[in-house]
Structure 1
């Protein structure tokens, strides 16, 4: 269980809700609306973590209001406004909202159903009153979320953290290739990349939700590309552990891994590294065949690692080639500013 700290509290969201609720109540009172305090509750229920959630919850709330009013009109007219009549309205409203996955529309509309009940039924005046309460409460909630701070800066920082972790894996692999003893060479680094990529996905998802209707999937594609590369590195790690000697061919492969680590960044299209890999393939083909079974097995492991590195680089190359020109331009602008 994580220890609670003040940073776990969303102070900005709490402040926005409190200020928005007060503003909604004051505005409803200024319009002379009945049950003005409900406008503040509507603002509270409207403010979500992202712009898109906020807008969609407001749409569901207005749809639920229309259904609730249509239910109240005949039930309160023919059955009166006793508590049991409200129970019928609430039951039907819940069933409809649950069926259409509009659970978040039920609380405030249930409260508004009590407004109709206390007013003696549905009248044109009360419908207008409730609509204005919804407009004021939801409108202020949407406006508050429209100024949700963008988390692009945090995404860029987390991108660099993930890339640095992968670079470290490549550097350690480069050194371990030149060692026959792999004692103490663990795989905890992959748990760290999984953690970083998972947290980055969450930040990117929040970023996409705050775009309202515009989807910018570059960052999501980026983190998926890095996760795919990490899966390849895990295969290389398992192969590397099988090496029990250091063949002469391990030295150029170690140097190549070091080069990949050195040039490992967001903007590298990997074309030069893939050409370098082909040269290494050609050099391996010209080497003399191993003369012992153990040498043959270790040489085969090195060749398999080189094949996996080709997949590792091609993943990034394919990602780069499928980028629209505008996204490539934005990527290089970020790199120039970093």
Structure 2
């Protein structure tokens, strides 16, 4: 049985928080473990946000509870009135993550039947220990870079295969079904984007930018274009002379799908190919030939859209690199 890092962090945080609370003889010390467990989130930013909501909601709960129980007495009716007022307030203040801890704190006040400084300090310490331990333990996050690079490599290889197969289809008129590979590529894109978002969520105090996330966004849009290209390739059932240069160009694109390959030269060559295709190729002699040529033109048009997305991404990469160099110079 494999134990994940989040499971391990949750167990460690709960044990440490409960040990500290019990060692200093706090009442309801198990509650510190519960708060620590709730503080373990998927990313550091989520953990800080949830902890903030928990602390603020708990302070409101203590204040409202102490006031209402003192004025109206410790009774189920007061408890009901409290919830009627407290729950909408927490939702309006967007402190929903603090709801559970607030309810538990209120039960402590209700169980004690009186509000004292000692009880107030007890609850504050439970919150501080639980939140503090949870945040400290959750600062450890496994590195995601290697997994992200692995997924990027898988996507690049899949894109290359698409272009090679489509080139073969254009040349031979024989269609190769890409359904399973398309689904697998879609899964890679989702996994990669999720990992990039997690890494962004773990970057405390840094600019909220991640070129890998932008890479996956670019590939998602290219993936949609490739599905159109595949659909057009399916319509090619006849081999025409114009298919040869189109297939050659598709293989060239397939050879250069990697992240940093510049698309500018390919775009210029593609524009020249499309221009030649439209001006110099004789008119088709049959309806079937007309439909095949139309599909070839659609493929070239979609490949152009694919390359434009890549060109924009390369520009972003360069801007990102210049910005990093500028920030490094400012630090020096």
Q: Structure 1 length normalisation: TM-score?
A: 0.86
Corresponding residue for residue 304 of structure 1: 298
For residues 98 and 201 of structure 2, the distance between their equivalents in structure 1, rounded to whole angstroms, comes to 20
Corresponding residue for residue 258 of structure 2: 265
- Unmatched 5+ residue regions in structure 2? 325-332
Q: Is the Cα–Cα contact under 8 Å of residues 250 and 302 in structure 1 kept in the other structure?
A: yes
Q: What is the CA distance between 1:259 and its match in structure 2?
A: 0.8
The alignment status of 1:313 with 2:300, answered yes or no, reads no
The alignment status of 1:209 with 2:201, answered yes or no, reads yes
Deviations 1:74-127 (A, max 9, x none): 222123334543444344333322344433212222222222233332223322
Deviations 1:281-310 (A, max 9, x none): 354356341351343443333223222211
Q: Is the Cα–Cα contact under 8 Å of residues 169 and 236 in structure 2 kept in the other structure?
A: no
SS of the equivalent of 2:253 reads helix
> Which residues in structure 2 correspond to 1:111-260 (within 5 Å)?
111-182=104-175, 185-214=177-206, 215-260=208-253
Deviations 1:153-203 (A, max 9, x none): 211111111121111111100111111243x53433322222221222222
Q: 1:248 to 1:79 in 2, by over 3 A?
A: same
The alignment status of 1:274 with 2:264, answered yes or no, reads no
Q: What is the CA distance between 1:226 and its match in structure 2?
A: 0.8
Q: 1:51 to 1:312 in 2, by over 3 A?
A: same
Q: What is the CA distance between 1:313 and its match in structure 2?
A: 0.8
1:31 to 10, 24, 32: 24
- Unmatched 5+ residue regions in structure 1? 1-5, 331-338
SS of the equivalent of 1:35 reads coil
The count of corresponding residues between Structure 1 and Structure 2 is: 322
Query: Where do 4+ consecutive residues of structure 1 move more than 6 Å?
Result: none
CA-atom RMSD in angstroms: 2.4
For residues 262 and 63 of structure 2, the distance between their equivalents in structure 1, rounded to whole angstroms, comes to 60
Q: Is the Cα–Cα contact under 8 Å of residues 163 and 253 in structure 2 kept in the other structure?
A: yes
Corresponding residue for residue 334 of structure 1: none
Q: Is the Cα–Cα contact under 8 Å of residues 72 and 122 in structure 1 kept in the other structure?
A: no
> Which residues in structure 2 correspond to 1:31-70 (within 5 Å)?
31-70=24-63
